[in-house]
Amino acid sequence: MTQQARFLPRDELQTLLDCLRENEYDVIGPTVRQQAIVYRSVRNVDELPVGWTDQQGPAVYQLEESKNDHVFRFNSSPDSWKRFFFPASSEIGTATLTDQGWQFETPQAPAPRLALLGVRACDLAAIAVQDRVFRDNEYVDVAYKRRRDAALIIAVNCGTAASTCFCTSMGDGPECQSGFDLVMTEIDGGFVIESGSPRGEQILEQLPTEPSTPTQRDATQCEIENARKAITKQFDTHDVHHLLLANLEHANWDNVAERCLSCANCTMVCPTCFCSTVDDVSNLSNTKVTRVRQWDSCFNVDFSRTASGIVRDDTRSRFRQWLTHKLATWEDQFDTSGCVGCGRCITWCPVGIDLTKEVAALRETTS
Ligand code: SF4
Ligand code: SF4
């Protein structure tokens, strides 16, 4: 935080939500649903997870009441922001039978103006990864670009961490460095807030803030340091590209395949995984066909089906594909790791498989 950072008192948080709505944004923020943090449209501060925190571990997620009334005292949730730019299911075209034959149309609905409230440093990194895949690439996904470009991102620095977090090992957090329009740090009594873009500055100017004091800025650094110290998981990424690709026949792939259920949870919660499939759905009279894109997973058997059969027909090869793509060949394709260290795949794997431990096991037995 710089000296230009402002202070927004806690009882003016509603003013921020109102201001965003007045600027025609639909605010998407954290809420508590079915005992988990889920991102939904919010209008009032009392919809936010005030006074909630979480406990996480391999295959463990539990919301708990915290000892204070902080709004953003929780860590990665089963939800991620990717579905707002890359929906789990979206119509990508229709074909309608008319007297002149089949007419093809591509949906041109305007992108919603979303203000994403509470984006963490690892999530900013994940959005940047998806930008490389879908937007800042030779082949642009137009629907993604429209949604992404219309969104306002309000980041929040972490003041806590789960046992599954390892953003420090991936160089992504816990402090938000770039990729936001506004960034906030929650301290006692309110939020230290700073803009990161002209759009963010315009919103900031409309808020009832005060110049931040040195004490408030110190408290901000203290929060971020608390989060950094709370991150105990370390992931040795040294030469991981070579380690994985040089050991494609290692016995550890058999070991993990005995535990992995091939359920695809890890890919569904991952904020960077981008695989999809396309289904054509016709009406009963066969006069209209809708082409729908849906999230898919390399853990699904049919994902690798080709004309000559299924390429990866066992769990061993599917897990190996996921891990080697995420941590090695993703770099070849996009010049970045496919992992940002959010820990979601560890928490939401029903048998508690931890990718950092699988890589460590490989490293230990090959060195
Ligand atoms: S692989 Fe796991 S830790 Fe890495 S970004 Fe995906 S969900 Fe997060
Ligand atoms: S690693 Fe875990 S979450 Fe992923 S497919 Fe296997 S059992 Fe499911």
pLDDT tens figures, 196-214:
999 999 999 999 999 999 9
- The answer on 278 and 130 residing in a single domain is no
- The answer on 200 and 75 residing in a single domain is yes
Task: For residue 268, give its domain range.
Answer: 240-364
Residue 355's pLDDT band, with cuts at 50, 70 and 90, is: very high
Question: What's residue 110's pLDDT?
Answer: 87
Question: What's residue 352's pLDDT?
Answer: 97
Pairing of strands 101-105, 114-119: unpaired
- The answer on 349 and 311 residing in a single domain is yes
Return the bridge partners of 278, or none: 293
Answer whether 344 contacts ligand 1 (Cβ < 6 A): yes
pLDDT greater than 80 at residue 77: yes
CA distance 200 to 182: 5
Question: What's residue 240's pLDDT?
Answer: 96
CA distance 330 to 272: 11
- The answer on 54 and 151 residing in a single domain is yes
Answer whether 339 contacts ligand 1 (Cβ < 6 A): yes
Mean pLDDT, to the nearest integer, of 180-198?
A: 97
Kindly report whether the peptide bond that precedes residue 9 is cis, defined as omega within 30 degrees of 0. no
Position 354 in a domain: yes
Among the candidates 176, 203, 230, a domain finishes at: 230
- The answer on 313 and 196 residing in a single domain is no
- Supply 49's token pair: 């997870």
Position 95 in a domain: no
Domain tally, the chain: 2
Judge contact between 127 and 153, C-beta under 8 A: yes
Among the candidates 197, 230, 263, a domain finishes at: 230
Pairing of strands 114-119, 26-33: parallel
pLDDT greater than 90 at residue 137: no
Question: What's residue 3's pLDDT?
Answer: 63
Mean pLDDT, to the nearest integer, of 345-364?
A: 97
- The answer on 209 and 124 residing in a single domain is yes
Question: What's residue 265's pLDDT?
Answer: 97
- Supply 67's token pair: 């000892």
Residue 337's pLDDT band, with cuts at 50, 70 and 90, is: very high
Ligand 2 centroid distance, CA of 59 (Å): 10
Q: What is the pLDDT of residues 79-132, one digit of tens each?
A: 999 999 999 999 999 999 999 999 999 988 889 999 999 999 999 999 999 999
Question: What's residue 67's pLDDT?
Answer: 83
Exposed e or buried b per residue across 139-174, where buried means at least 16 C-beta atoms within 10 angstroms of its C-beta: eebebbbbbbeebbbbbbbbbbbbbbbbbbbbebbb
Position 321 in a domain: yes
Question: What's residue 107's pLDDT?
Answer: 86
Question: What's residue 365's pLDDT?
Answer: 87
Mean pLDDT, to the nearest integer, of 235-251?
A: 95
- The answer on 187 and 129 residing in a single domain is yes
3-state DSSP assignment of residue 36: strand
Q: What is the pTM assigned to this prediction?
A: 0.95
Q: Quick one: which atom of ligand 1 is closest to the CA of 326?
A: 1
CA distance 314 to 227: 39
Q: What is the pLDDT of residues 147-174, one digit of tens each?
A: 999 999 999 999 999 999 999 999 998 9
Position 328 in a domain: yes
Position 43 in a domain: yes
Q: How far is CA 244 from CA 111, 124, 272, 278, 355, in A?
A: 40, 26, 19, 30, 12
Position 224 in a domain: yes
List, in order, residues 6 or more apart from 193 with CB less than 8 Å away.
5, 6, 7, 8, 182, 183, 184, 185, 204, 207, 209
Ligand 2 centroid distance, CA of 315 (Å): 10
Question: What's residue 68's pLDDT?
Answer: 85
**How many other β-carbons are positioned within 10 Å of the β-carbon of residue 244?**
22
Residue nearest to atom 1 of ligand 1 (CA): 339
> With pLDDT > 70 as the criterion, what percentage of the chain qualifies?
99
Mean per-residue pLDDT over the chain, rounded: 95
Q: Among the bound ligands, name the one nearest to the CA of residue 273.
A: 1
Position 101 in a domain: no
- The answer on 54 and 32 residing in a single domain is yes
pLDDT greater than 90 at residue 4: no
Question: What's residue 128's pLDDT?
Answer: 97
Mean pLDDT, to the nearest integer, of 272-293?
A: 96
